[in-house]
Amino acid sequence: MGRGTQWLHVENNALIDVWLVATNVCIRGTDQSGNVFWENALTKWRHRLRDVAEGRSAHEGRGKEALRKQWGKLLAGVMEFSSYYLTPKELKPKGNVSEKDLINMAVSLFCGESTYTRMRGDYAEDLKLQTTKKRRAKQILCPYVPYWRKLRDEPKLKAAAAAYAASQKKGAATKAAAAERAAAMATKKARANTLWQH
Higher-scoring residue by pLDDT: 178, 108: 108
The tens digit of pLDDT for each residue in 117-168 reads: 555 555 556 666 666 554 444 546 788 999 999 988 887 777 766 676 677 6
Pick the closest to residue 108 from 76, 140, 130, 77 (CA basis).
Answer: 140
Is the CB of residue 73 less than 8 Å from the CB of residue 87? no
pLDDT of residue 89 exceeding 50, the answer is yes
Residue extents of the structural domains in the chain: 1-62, 77-197
Q: What is the pLDDT of residue 147?
A: 92
Q: What is the pLDDT of residue 143?
A: 87
Total-model pTM: 0.66
